[in-house]
Amino acid sequence: MQISDRGFDSRRCLNVYGRTVPLPSAFGQPVRLAWPRLPVRRFISPLAILLVWQAASLAGVIPARIIASPAAIIATAYGLIVSGELLPDLAVSLARALVGLAIGVGSGIVLALIAGLSRNGEDAIDPPMQMLRAIPLLGLTPLLILWFGISETPKITLIALASFFPVYITLFAGIRAVDRKLIEAAQVFGLDRWAIVREVILPGSLPSALVGIRQSLGIAWLSLVVAEQINADHGIGYLIMNARDFLRTDIIVVGLAVYALLGLATDAIVRALERRTLRWRPSILKAAP
């Protein structure tokens, strides 16, 4: 049986693990990458909540000492930006989170690779990691203060520990979940151990690693809130703590909104990376209408 290359179109091909594979058609239509679309209807309920919140604040049902109105919060955010108070604190918080994430995610990837690719590595690394994972993270805060004082070190260490375990657990599980038949097929084609790791195991575990990174990002921003309450003199957490002392609920909500926006932005970056690196997956592909 011969396969004709007549009608072959390179634009309808996809690079999968370094190989060019023609994309299938759905009802005669070419398959293309699907970009996420956010329906307008998803904005209806949040806008309705904001309108009800604003109306309740104007009517006096929700006092300002409980929580400020959306209009007051927006005006406060604009004032903090114009006065130059918000951006320096934002830069400090972002630097803390990025350094902690780099340490936690980097070490999580390295240890997961060692434990996942070697039985001896698993025996040496996985038991203490599981023991540490069972310890409540916030319970380590007093020890971190005793060990490192009240400088930047305990804050970054707390963020690094929080972001370490999701990456380690998901990547370790992803490596061990790679289909054994793929490894056997690679061996039949004559690939050595490191080629199998590079061409089969790492690409196969990449989806799990990206899930772990997304989880680490969310937990890192949560731990940043706690970390910046350790005698911080700059940062969004410092801004919130000062606002609490003066009963400024508008500033508190602005700080919380900044944390939320940072979390959404970093998650969107990882999702975009996921769409780019995993474009060979069927779930990323969508038939053209």
124 pLDDT above the threshold of 80: yes
Query: What integer pLDDT is reported at residue 99 of this predicted model?
Result: 92
Integer Cα distance of 174 and 181 in angstroms: 15
Domains within the chain, CATH numbers bracketed:
71-287 (1.10.3720.10)
Report in angstroms the alpha-carbon separations of 100 from 126, 129, 266: 22, 18, 14
277 pLDDT above the threshold of 90: no
**Average pLDDT estimate for 238-250:** 84
Pick from 244, 229, 237: which is nearest to 262 by CA?
A: 237
**Average pLDDT estimate for 206-213:** 86
Least confident among 15-19, 67-71, 202-206: 15-19
- Going edge to edge, which strands form the sheet with 25-26? 25-26, 29-33, 285-287
Query: What integer pLDDT is reported at residue 102 of this predicted model?
Result: 92
Query: What integer pLDDT is reported at residue 10 of this predicted model?
Result: 44
Per-residue pLDDT tens for 38-54?
Answer: 567 777 887 888 899 88
Confidence class of residue 4 from pLDDT cuts 50, 70 and 90? very low
Least confident among 15-24, 35-44, 207-216: 15-24
Confidence class of residue 119 from pLDDT cuts 50, 70 and 90? confident
Mean pLDDT of the chain: 79
Give the helix ranges, DSSP H, for the chain.
44-58, 70-83, 86-117, 119-133, 141-148, 152-176, 180-188, 193-196, 202-227, 236-245, 249-277
165 pLDDT above the threshold of 80: yes
If one compares 272 and 102, the residue with the highest pLDDT of the two is 102
Integer Cα distance of 22 and 15 in angstroms: 9
12 pLDDT above the threshold of 70: no
pTM exceeds cut of 0.75: no
Give percent of the chain with pLDDT exceeding 90.
Answer: 10
Query: What integer pLDDT is reported at residue 282 of this predicted model?
Result: 58
Query: What integer pLDDT is reported at residue 39 of this predicted model?
Result: 62
Tokens 């971190």 belong to which residue?
144
The winner for highest mean pLDDT among 31-35, 123-127, 219-223, 238-242 is: 123-127
Query: What integer pLDDT is reported at residue 149 of this predicted model?
Result: 79
Least confident among 7-16, 231-240, 255-264: 7-16
